[in-house]
Amino acid sequence: MVNRPVAGDDGPASRHSDDARVARVNGRALHRPGEALDGETLRQRAGTELLRQAAQRAGLLAAEDPPCDDGVPSEAAVLAIETLLERELRVPEPSEEACRRLHAQHPERYGSGERVRARHVLFAVTPGVDVAALLAHAEPLLLQLRSCQPGAEADEAFSAAARRYSNCPSSEHGGDLGWLRREDCAPEFAGEIFGHPGIGVLSQLVRSRFGLHIVEVLGRDAGEAPAFDEVRDAVEAALRRHSWITALRQYVRVLAGDAVLEGVDLDAADSPLVQ
């Protein structure tokens, strides 16, 4: 990985232009001239751009696919990156011992109950809205939020995304919908949040009559925790997700090692480096 700093005020006059201050990956701009982004946003965009270029090299994406200097990759790029990750990431199957250990440590995560506490980011679908354009925004954000390691940073990342993007009054509260019963939700929404065990960001966008939702299940009102055999699938899914996050971080860092980076430092990243 070659890191080149963005031009500073003490550089040659020719590098004082806005264009000289643009961060790039292998010469591809991560933002528009004059646009100021924080370091974390730049690192996430760099991760996405590294994957987009890798998809092009693998023949999964057309060479003329445009770089996303607005932070929103094309729909074709999103699909190509998903295919690339399915091909390249090696996620081991969790062992019986590891599953039982996780269940024993956190039995409360796998209860089944009639209430779910959830939050969401809603991309509202209204008459005249370009659904393809919404998908181009929602799918990369879903990948980013799914990739966050559980903890305070992941919590804040979801809240910030809801405040910035969600078309729901709950955005003022980080997307928090509180505790929900099935009858509180549209049937198609309830079917998704009650139909999958465990907690965490759901792996796919939830489509409802209101639009496209990125949903995170924060808790379940379970009563007594079920036996391990009843929730084995949910425990395995949680461990696979953790392994997938680890594999993604490692893969992006390998790509970065072979890239020329200007104005962005991936070594400082705490996130999974993907937007």
Distances (CA, A) of 55 to 25, 62, 79: 14, 9, 10
Give the confidence band of 265 by pLDDT, cuts at 50, 70, 90.
confident
CATH 3.90.950.10 for the 113-221 domain, yes or no: no
Alpha carbon distance 249, 4 (integer Å): 22
Quote the crossing angle between the two packed helices 131-147 and 232-257, to the nearest 10°: 100
Instruction: Compute and round to an integer the Cα radius of gyration of the chain.
Output: 20
User: Which element (helix H / strand E) includes 253?
Assistant: helix 232-257
* High-pLDDT (> 90) share of the chain, %: 41
Question: Angle, nearest 10°, between helix axes 232-257 and 39-57?
Answer: 90
Paired tokens of 106: 């956190």
Q: Give the pLDDT score at 227.
A: 83
pLDDT digits (tens, 9 = 90+) for 62-115: 999 988 888 788 989 999 999 999 999 988 899 999 999 988 887 766 665 568
Report whether pLDDT(11) > 50: no
Q: Where are the domains of the chain?
A: 2-90+245-268, 113-221
Query: What's the CA gap between 165 and 212, in Å, rounded?
Result: 12
Statement: residue 3 has pLDDT above 50: yes
Per-residue pLDDT at 174 exceeds 50: yes
What percent of the chain stands above pLDDT 70?
Answer: 85
Whether residue 268 has pLDDT greater than 50: no
How much is the pLDDT for 12?
A: 40
